[in-house]
Amino acid sequence: MADTIFVKNLAVFARHGVFMEEAKLGQRFFVDIDCLTSTRAAAVADDPNLTPCYDSICQIATATILGERSKLLETVAERICENLFQKFPMVFEIHLEIRKPSAPVSAIVDTVGVRIERKRNG
C-alpha cells in the first residue's frame, strides 16, 4: 500500500524543445508530480522531516526544468525523477507528467506532453 504526496500544475517558464525558436522565445511548462511513499511514520510522529516536503518538491522540479536545456521533455522528466529520488530516500516511486501547451504542432490541441512512472533503482 502506498500514500501519495503530490504537486499539481506547477508552472515553469523554460526553453526546452527541438526548435531553435523554442530556445529563443521559451514557453510555459506545467508539471504534475506524485511521490509514492508511506506517510504513516510522519503522521504518527507529526514530524515533517519524515515525509517529502511540497516546497522542496517544487524547488527541485523548478531548478531541474530551469537547468540544462533539452530537446525532449522525456529528458527533463527523467532528470526531475532522478533529483527527487536523490533528495527523498523515503520515496519509492514517482509518477510525473509534463505538459507543453504552446508546443509547435500542426494541430489544434489543448496540450501535449509526456507522462512517466519510475521506481527507485529501476
Strand ranges (DSSP E) for the chain? 3-14, 27-37, 93-99, 113-119
Q: How far are the Cα atoms of 33, 67, 122 from residue 62, in angstroms, in the given order?
A: 12, 8, 23
Cβ contact 69:15 at 8 Å: yes
Residues designated as active site: 100
Q: Percentage of the chain surpassing pLDDT 70?
A: 99
Give the pLDDT confidence score for residue 19 in this predicted structure: 86
Mean pLDDT of 44-73: 96
Domains of the chain (ranges, CATH numbers) = 3-119 (3.30.1130.10)
- Note the pLDDT tens digit of each residue in 10-26: 999 999 999 888 889 99
Q: Is the pTM for the entire model greater than 0.75?
A: yes
Cβ contact 94:118 at 8 Å: yes
Cβ contact 30:7 at 8 Å: no
